[in-house]
A and B are shown apart, each in its own frame.
Chain A
Amino acid sequence: MLQNYLKMAWKVLLRRKLFTFISLFGISFTIFILMVAISYLDSMISPKGPEGKQNRILHTGNIIVRNGQSMRSSSSSYYFMNKYALTLKTPELVSVFSEGRYYTYKNNKKFFFNYRCADQNFWRIFDFDFINGKPYGQRECDNSDRVAVISKSTAENYFGTTNAVGMEIDFRGKMFKVIGVVSDVPEANDHTYSDLWIPISFTENYSKTESYFGGCNAAMLAYSADDLMKIKQEFHKQLKTALASMPGGTDKSTLKCVLKTRLELLAKDLLSEYDDFNADPESTKNDVFVEPGGVSSTVKAMSIISGIMFLFMLLPALNLININLSRIMERSSEIGVRKAFGASRNALVKQFIVENLALTFIGGAISLILTLIAFSIINKSGLIVNTELTLNFNVFIISIMVCVIFGFIAGVFPAYKMSKLNPVESLRGGE
């Protein structure tokens, strides 16, 4: 039966080539765009590179201090992180780091580099791929040794070789000895991406005390994903201590710090959830906040993404419904014959849905080829730095699901209409 349906689907496709082209173009283009978008989202949510343990890592965002009517939001100082984050007991590891950008010259050539000042735990939390050398440790951080880990591209561009261990690179007028070379980090790894990494002790205002604001962030690695909430709870307690001794704080001050997983942070960005938590005047009492688990906002963000994808699919699906409906009369004789010889409504609905799914899967196969071509172009162009869009298992499975949903949306209504045709009228119309 299925073989017969597929044979019929193929014949119908060949019957009206223009209609078929329009349908296939709509389907394949839609699925192509969705596959690229899904792959990009996938590279954002689970990027290749050092941030592989993302389901166990919490990242701090800005700290927000409100004193009466004034509010300040910024990343925190090393002093704050050292006192309230590095002292946490619940996480397996905590790392503090800051980032920036500088330029330097070599042989009259100007180089722009992203840099990151990071502590020794940074190399243990995140999984860097060392091509040469090794990371620095606590001793180098404590002694402010001028050592650096650089990316493969940096080594190639600056030194002309990846074998750059032992060579020296300029960082703001001071020479740093390269002790390690790592594979390039895709830009989607926004907590680790850089061209050069040096000890945290070179971060601005490293030894400055008292101010809570600076350029640092922290990553906290939990023993297991189940511990994330415990870390948040412990950090909440730390914030209470921090608020009590906050410079310039009053009994009406509040202190908040974003502490989320990567997915929660993405959801927060997507939903444009700002850090203004003080809409409620009651909350201007002396209190602290750690942003609670982002489950609801993650679900909300995923729902919005799914909704957008559904709407994006709906337009070409409506077009296909329209084409299918207009082709019903063309097939009225066939429907009449099938009904006369024993096809029930259900059998006709099934046939028509199978035909649509077949059409959609052909569109899916075309879109797969288009997607692979697009990936190759995007990856070569460097449009998204160091990111390689790939068709992994997740993307493939989601794309198959998209095909099935598309086929159903476009097939069910016309199939229902077709199956309701009166056989006598159908046979008359087919004459």
Chain B
Amino acid sequence: MIQLHEINKVYRTKTIETLALQNINLSVKKGEFISVMGPSGSGKSTLLNILGLLDVPNAGKVTIDNTLIANKNDKELAKFRNQKIGFVFQSYHLINDLSVLDNVEIPLLYRNATSRERKKLASEALDKVGLSMRKDHFPTQLSGGQSQRVAIARAIVGTPEIILADEPTGNLDSTMGAEIMDILLNLQKHENTTIVMVTHDEKQAEKSERIIRLFDGRQVN
């Protein structure tokens, strides 16, 4: 499903050059659930951003679903992200001005979906995460766990094949964190969704099928 070949990523400022990723090779099968672990600054989020086509490597090849992601223009990348990838962020990144339902609809806005279709699919996605009764609420009226469930509903509403989760339980207590993990595991099990999750939590990482460890931008296992 996902292949990374000799990925390098360097961040440059006027005075300093930081090697964020070095010679990363990674292959993720369809329906696989992998965790990416490592200390802060080890390159976990950079790796996730490259997988999510939000950032581009300085060297190396990214292949997703047998498509080489190189020289794709902004429009093509946007379409690819929209159809193949769903994101879950540590701090949820819900838009506070929009209702829960409107937030979940966002990925569908960039497809040719009618308003009725969008509402139907968003309601179904909220059903899956057990939040259909909160669809007219606003993010500020939700708890952390509920916000993250809305974020997951937003990530899965367009039925993407890949979900990239950046510390999805990082801001939650253990009970809520466990709930979120269950949802992600269910998605993998029942929808055959490929999941790549960045986490600091060893226990939760152990629930995934494979753990990738990074240190100073290098893969260490």
- Please, how many angstroms separate the alpha-carbon atoms of A343 and B105 in the complex? 13
A347 pairs with B98, CB closer than 8 A: no
Given contacts A1-B109, A3-B115, A347-B110, contact A342 B78 (CB under 8 A): yes
- Please, how many angstroms separate the alpha-carbon atoms of A341 and B83 in the complex? 9
- Whether a CB of chain B sits under 8 angstroms from the CB of A254 is no
- Whether a CB of chain B sits under 8 angstroms from the CB of A431 is yes
A344 pairs with B107, CB closer than 8 A: no
B79 to chain A: which residues have CB within 8 Å? Answer: 342, 344
A-facing mask of B71-92, CB < 8 A → 1, else 0? 0001100110111001101010
Given contacts A342-B79, A347-B78, A427-B89, contact A337 B106 (CB under 8 A): yes
A4 pairs with B74, CB closer than 8 A: no
- Whether a CB of chain B sits under 8 angstroms from the CB of A424 is yes
Using C-beta atoms within 8 Å of the partner chain, give the interface range for chain B: 20 to 34
B78 pairs with A430, CB closer than 8 A: no
B83 closest partner in A (C-beta): A342
A424 pairs with B78, CB closer than 8 A: no
- Please, how many angstroms separate the alpha-carbon atoms of A345 and B81 in the complex? 13
A331 closest partner in B (C-beta): B95
B54 to chain A: which residues have CB within 8 Å? Answer: 339-340, 423-424, 427
Chain A proximity of B56: nearest CB distance (Å): 10
A-facing mask of B87-120, CB < 8 A → 1, else 0? 1010101010110001001110111000100000
A338 to chain B: which residues have CB within 8 Å? Answer: 106
Chain B proximity of A365: nearest CB distance (Å): 22
Given contacts A4-B109, A424-B49, A431-B91, contact A12 B78 (CB under 8 A): no
Using C-beta atoms within 8 Å of the partner chain, give the interface range for chain A: 20 to 34
Which of B52, B91, B109 is A340 in contact with, Cβ under 8 Å? B52
A342 to chain B: which residues have CB within 8 Å? Answer: 78-79, 81-83, 107, 110-111, 158
B111 to chain A: which residues have CB within 8 Å? Answer: 342
- Whether a CB of chain B sits under 8 angstroms from the CB of A346 is yes
Chain B proximity of A186: nearest CB distance (Å): 50
A337 closest partner in B (C-beta): B93
- Please, how many angstroms separate the alpha-carbon atoms of A343 and B154 in the complex? 14
B55 pairs with A424, CB closer than 8 A: yes
Chain A proximity of B54: nearest CB distance (Å): 5
A422 to chain B: which residues have CB within 8 Å? Answer: 55
A3 to chain B: which residues have CB within 8 Å? Answer: 115
B89 pairs with A343, CB closer than 8 A: no
B91 to chain A: which residues have CB within 8 Å? Answer: 430-431
- Please, how many angstroms separate the alpha-carbon atoms of A8 and B105 in the complex? 13
A11 closest partner in B (C-beta): B97
Which of A14, A334, A340, A347 is B87 in contact with, Cβ under 8 Å? A340
A8 pairs with B97, CB closer than 8 A: yes
B107 to chain A: which residues have CB within 8 Å? Answer: 341-342
Chain A proximity of B6: nearest CB distance (Å): 21
A4 to chain B: which residues have CB within 8 Å? Answer: 102, 105, 109
Given contacts A8-B97, A333-B93, contact A341 B55 (CB under 8 A): no
- Whether a CB of chain B sits under 8 angstroms from the CB of A336 is yes
B93 to chain A: which residues have CB within 8 Å? Answer: 333, 336-337, 427, 430
B106 to chain A: which residues have CB within 8 Å? Answer: 337-338, 341
- Please, how many angstroms separate the alpha-carbon atoms of A370 and B54 in the complex? 47
B81 pairs with A12, CB closer than 8 A: no
Given contacts A343-B110, A344-B74, contact A334 B95 (CB under 8 A): yes
B52 pairs with A344, CB closer than 8 A: no
Q: Which residues of A75-97 have CB atoms within 8 Å of chain B's CB atoms?
A: none
- Whether a CB of chain B sits under 8 angstroms from the CB of A7 is yes
- Whether a CB of chain B sits under 8 angstroms from the CB of A17 is no
A-facing mask of B146-163, CB < 8 A → 1, else 0? 000000001000100000
- Whether a CB of chain B sits under 8 angstroms from the CB of A15 is yes
- Please, how many angstroms separate the alpha-carbon atoms of A333 and B106 in the complex? 14
Given contacts A1-B109, A7-B102, A15-B97, contact A340 B81 (CB under 8 A): yes
B95 pairs with A337, CB closer than 8 A: yes
Which of B49, B55, B78 is A343 in contact with, Cβ under 8 Å? B78
Chain A proximity of B145: nearest CB distance (Å): 18
- Please, how many angstroms separate the alpha-carbon atoms of A340 and B154 in the complex? 11
- Please, how many angstroms separate the alpha-carbon atoms of A431 and B89 in the complex? 10
Chain B proximity of A333: nearest CB distance (Å): 5
B49 pairs with A341, CB closer than 8 A: no
Chain B proximity of A285: nearest CB distance (Å): 69
A341 pairs with B154, CB closer than 8 A: yes
- Please, how many angstroms separate the alpha-carbon atoms of A8 and B103 in the complex? 11
- Please, how many angstroms separate the alpha-carbon atoms of A14 and B98 in the complex? 12
- Please, how many angstroms separate the alpha-carbon atoms of A195 and B91 in the complex? 77
A431 closest partner in B (C-beta): B91
A340 to chain B: which residues have CB within 8 Å? Answer: 52, 54, 81, 87
B54 closest partner in A (C-beta): A423
Pairs A-B, 6 closest by C-beta atoms: A342-B82, A11-B97, A344-B78, A342-B110, A341-B107, A423-B54
Q: List 24 A-B contacts (CB under 8 A).
A: A4-B102, A7-B98, A11-B98, A12-B97, A14-B97, A336-B93, A337-B93, A337-B95, A340-B54, A341-B82, A341-B87, A341-B107, A341-B154, A342-B79, A342-B83, A342-B111, A342-B158, A344-B74, A344-B79, A345-B74, A346-B75, A423-B54, A424-B55, A430-B91
Given contacts A15-B97, A340-B81, A424-B49, 7 further A-B contacts (CB under 8 A): A4-B109, A11-B98, A341-B158, A342-B81, A343-B109, A344-B74, A344-B79
